């Protein structure tokens, strides 16, 4: 990454963090992804139950591998919806269990410099626990998700994140073919739920780590 790009992402992230704090979110800036796991080590208590939503950012930061290792060592109880070999029914049960987990992890689709957050979800299993249920929500994002406003964050989520994720998931949707949102009626549409967070009424429940790198989609 060039020094100019690094500087720009850092400035956007730092400005967004201050705006998020003003809206009641427990937000923190991290210079790079390697700084994340040490923070989580000190944050998640032994014996906690943990759920997560799909996220390329969490994959790139090594969070899923870290959680699975902690589960194997019985330091946490992980509701691993992506475990290889489980049935569709078991996957659904684990997603439902995540609704009342002690901790829930997710990425973010768009962040406004007004301190707003935007999420797009196909089935609701990711946005539901973010809104209510788990006592602690941990959101991780790269600074490339930062935009000028709530409206810009919404546009990014719809016109950038959704097509990229539809393509990644091999969905039969128009955007996975053209790269453009067409507000389709496809049965495989991934943007059935669009949720915005403008303030956190339970101050401290939602913790956001904003990393000064390009991460996720």
Tens digits of residue pLDDT in 82-95:
999 999 999 999 99
Q: Are 120 and 154 in contact (CB under 8 A)?
A: no
Strand partners, 49: 77
Answer whether residue 203 shows pLDDT above 90. Answer: no
Amino acid 189: pLDDT: 95
DSSP 85: T
pLDDT of residue 116: 98
Q: What is the pLDDT of residues 143-200, one digit of tens each?
A: 999 999 999 999 999 999 999 999 999 999 999 999 999 999 999 999 999 999 999 9
* Rounded Cα distance, 77 and 46, in Å: 9
User: Quick one: CA dihedral 55, 59, 60, 61, positive or negative?
Assistant: positive
Domain boundaries defined on the chain: 3-211
pLDDT tens per residue across span 21-69: 999 999 999 999 999 999 999 999 999 999 999 999 999 999 999 999 9
Of 95-99, 144-148, 202-206, minimum mean pLDDT range: 202-206
The arithmetic mean of pLDDT across residues 66-82, rounded, is: 98
The tokens for 46 are 């032994």
Question: What SS3 class is residue 183?
Answer: coil
Choices 3.40.710.10, 3.40.630.30, 3.40.50.10420, 2.60.40.10: CATH for 3-211:
3.40.50.10420
The pLDDT assigned to 172 comes to: 95
The burial of 202, by beta-carbon neighbours within 10 Å (0-12 exposed, 13-18 middle, 19 or more buried), is given as exposed
Residue owning tokens 């400035």? 11
Element (H, E) at 194: strand 193-197
The residue assigned the tokens 């919806």 is: 81
């Amino acid at each position: 990454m060039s020094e100019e790009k690094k500087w720009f992402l850092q400035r956007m992230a730092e400005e967004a963090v201050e705006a998020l704090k003003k809206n009641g979110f427990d937000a923190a800036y991290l210079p790079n992804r390697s700084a994340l796991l040490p923070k989580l080590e000190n944050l998640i208590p032994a014996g906690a139950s943990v759920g997560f939503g799909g996220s390329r950012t969490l994959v790139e930061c090594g969070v899923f591998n870290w959680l699975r290792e902690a589960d194997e060592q019985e330091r946490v109880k992980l509701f691993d919806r992506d475990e290889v070999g489980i049935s569709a029914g078991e996957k659904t049960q684990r997603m439902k269990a995540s609704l009342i987990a002690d901790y829930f992890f997710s990425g973010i689709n768009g962040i406004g410099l007004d301190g707003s957050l935007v999420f797009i979800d196909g089935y609701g299993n990711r946005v539901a626990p973010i809104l209510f249920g788990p006592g602690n929500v941990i959101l991780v994002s790269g600074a490339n998700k930062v935009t000028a406003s709530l409206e810009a964050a919404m546009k990014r989520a719809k016109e950038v994140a959704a097509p990229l994720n539809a393509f990644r998931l091999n969905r039969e949707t128009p955007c996975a073919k053209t790269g453009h949102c067409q507000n389709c009626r496809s049965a495989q549409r991934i943007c059935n739920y669009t949720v915005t967070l403008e303030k956190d009424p339970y101050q401290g429940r939602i913790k956001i780590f904003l990393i000064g790198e390009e991460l996720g989609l």
